[in-house]
Amino acid sequence: MKKTVITFAVLAFLACGKSETPVTATNATSSSSSALTINGAGATFPNPIYSKWFSDYGKLHPHVGINYQPIGSGGGIRQLTAKTVFFGATDGPMSDEQLKAAPGPIVHLPTVLGGVVPIYNVPGITAPLHFTGETLANIYLGTIKKWNDPGIAKGNPGVKLPDSDIAVVHRSDGSGTTYIFVDFLSKVSPAFKTRVGVATSVSWPVGVGAKGNEGVSGLVKQTPGAIGYVELIYASHNNIPFGAVQNKSGKFVTASLDSVTAAAANAAIPDDFRVSITNADGDAAYPIASFTWILLYENNDDHARAQAMVELMKWALTAGQKQIGELGYAPLPQAVVDKEMAALGRIH
């Protein structure tokens, strides 16, 4: 008798373990919030706007669910190339070698514009500091070590800078924010270009690595004497002071929607949309600005998902562009939108 009871208990246990698989499988279509789930991954920099877009779009089109995971730009490129996600997202355009290594032609689709700002925590300093590109490069190369270094002081006449060490903070993960920042520094400093170079992950000569935009802002906020770089929204969200940066025309410009938009205004957009707009021309242009891209294969096996992505992109380029200011991004210039609408026709 007792034997039967126990055996029954095991059987029941095993059975409830097993029976759940078929149940979940049949539920897949009914209880899943959307019939068509599209997986994407990549940049963290546009994640605030992407998650808002995908959520709003899901409300308008309940049959489409976009599962976007912000794992970093390098990750977006990697996972798209491995085809473990349907679309990727990046803040640094794919290199020619990366495009060659991919199993099929990939289209870069700009979505919004953003800016990267130098944030700092210098006790006693209230006015926004001014940085030249070269100063920033030298700080990140480790050749400027103190806050009262003449290189920093020159741009900030009248500001009493302390004689304290600079604690340099950078990203530890592969990041488009890093790409944009080092892309700018490499343009203005030949030394930086040879020593560090441009990529989503680089080998930093000095500093502390923190994960994500948040990790960097958190560490800078908590560490007196620290400097870091983050996407604009993370600085304003966390109320961390950020500096003005000298642009190509010699003006010190603070990052804002207008100054970021101005950076894209004069850019010549190539047919594949892979363009860097750091250190752009124009008096009002903020120099550490960039497009951010969604990456899609031109030829997809899954036409239904490809079509859904095209529809989504059309929406993002029109209605979607209207609500991005509050999140700290600048809308795309109309010329780019027009060109992109045409390019969407290549995707199927």
Q: How far is the CB of 268 from another protein (least distance, A)?
A: 26
Q: How far is the CB of 341 from another protein (least distance, A)?
A: 25
Q: Which is nearer to another protein, 7 or 148 (CB)?
A: 7
- The dihedrals phi and psi of 94, each to the nearest 5 degrees, come to -65, 145
Tokens representing 285 are: 């242009």
Q: How far is the CB of 208 from another protein (least distance, A)?
A: 5
Q: Which is nearer to another protein, 114 or 212 (CB)?
A: 212
CA 115 – CA 10 distance, rounded (Å): 60
Query: Could you tell me if residue 18 is left (phi over 0), alpha (psi between -120 and 50 degrees) or otherwise beta?
Result: alpha
Asked if 129 is part of the footprint of another protein (rule: CB under 8 A), the reply reads no
CA 52 – CA 190 distance, rounded (Å): 39
Q: How far is the CB of 143 from another protein (least distance, A)?
A: 18
* Contacting residue, 132, 200, 279, 321, with another protein by CB under 8 A: 200
Q: Is the CA virtual torsion 134, 139, 144, 148 positive or negative?
A: positive
Q: Which is nearer to another protein, 88 or 282 (CB)?
A: 88
Asked if 20 is part of the footprint of another protein (rule: CB under 8 A), the reply reads yes
Q: How far is the CB of 136 from another protein (least distance, A)?
A: 18
Q: Which is nearer to another protein, 220 or 330 (CB)?
A: 220
Task: Please choose, out of 94-102, 120-128, 134-142, 315-323, the segment that lies near another protein by the rule CB under 8 A.
Answer: 94-102
CA 237 – CA 97 distance, rounded (Å): 37
3-state secondary structure of 203: coil
Q: Which is nearer to another protein, 17 or 157 (CB)?
A: 17
Burial status of residue 166 (CB atoms within 10 A of its CB: 0-12, 13-18, 19 or more): buried
Q: How many residues bind another protein (CB under 8 A)?
A: 83
Binding residues for another protein restricted to 313-332, rule: CB under 8 A: 327
Q: Which is nearer to another protein, 131 or 179 (CB)?
A: 179
Binding residues for another protein restricted to 27-56, rule: CB under 8 A: 27-28, 31-34, 37, 39, 41, 47-48, 51-52, 54-56
Q: How far is the CB of 314 from another protein (least distance, A)?
A: 20
Largest Cα–Cα distance of the chain, in whole Å?
Answer: 92
Asked if 177 is part of the footprint of another protein (rule: CB under 8 A), the reply reads no
Q: Are 283 and 185 in contact (CB under 8 A)?
A: no
* Contacting residue, 153, 160, 184, 219, with another protein by CB under 8 A: 219
Asked if 300 is part of the footprint of another protein (rule: CB under 8 A), the reply reads no
Q: Which is nearer to another protein, 214 or 272 (CB)?
A: 214
- The dihedrals phi and psi of 215, each to the nearest 5 degrees, come to -55, -45
Asked if 238 is part of the footprint of another protein (rule: CB under 8 A), the reply reads yes
Residue holding tokens 């030949």?
190
Query: For the chain, how many helices (H) and strands (E)?
Result: 13, 11
Task: Please choose, out of 104-112, 142-150, 221-229, 290-298, the segment that lies near another protein by the rule CB under 8 A.
Answer: 221-229
Asked if 77 is part of the footprint of another protein (rule: CB under 8 A), the reply reads yes
3-state secondary structure of 70: strand
Query: Per DSSP, what are the bridge partners of residue 230?
Result: 117
Q: Are 231 and 72 in contact (CB under 8 A)?
A: no
Residue holding tokens 């289209």?
107
Asked if 122 is part of the footprint of another protein (rule: CB under 8 A), the reply reads no
Q: How far is the CB of 296 from another protein (least distance, A)?
A: 16
Q: For residues 88-105, b (16+ Cβ closer than 10 Å) or e, as one string?
A: bbbbbbbeeebbeebeee
